[in-house]
Amino acid sequence: MKQSPLRPRELMAVAIALSLRGLRGGRGGPFGAVVALNGIIVGRGNNQVLAGNDPTAHAEVVAIRAACRKLGTFHLEACVLYTSCEPCPMCLAAAYWARVDAIVFANSRADAAEIGFGDAFLYGELIRPPESRSLPTSRLMAKQASAAFRAWESLASKTHYGPVVRP
């Protein structure tokens, strides 16, 4: 049976319902997300950090992974990510890497901080040089590692999959 396209408010309502379902099921924090293509949900996710002992299993990442599996692609152009909360830095980066066309969120990151899910620290760390971050970060064997980059550079059949740089 063909699914009818949903309006933005209906898509957000699904994301919010997923946030509550995951929370009540003890799967993780109060976050839900859907990826929609032309108003049709192609990926769903709720936070599953606790359920899978996976700190990367945020709702947005779970929904993006599901959408990519369903559509058979690693790019989600023409898709919109609806999420119950403004994405954290990891999820925001995942949305860029997935090339979604837009992100629509309900709760803000300030709202999330009020209940203990503050991301301000991470946003601050991202703009610091590696050697100045609070997590010790150092470089090792750069010259040897560059061999893989040179091989990629000369590969005629490579598939580019980086994020689109938006003006």
| Catalytic pick among 10, 60, 86, 125 | 60
CA 143 to CA 137: how far, in whole Å? 17
Task: List the alpha helices (DSSP H) in 1-118.
Answer: 8-24, 49-52, 59-71, 89-98, 109-114
Cβ atoms < 10 Å from Cβ of 83: 28
Q: Containing H/E element for 122?
A: helix 120-126
Whether the CB-CB separation of 106 and 12 falls below 8 Å is answered with yes
Known active-site residue 60: yes
Q: Which residues are catalytic?
A: 60
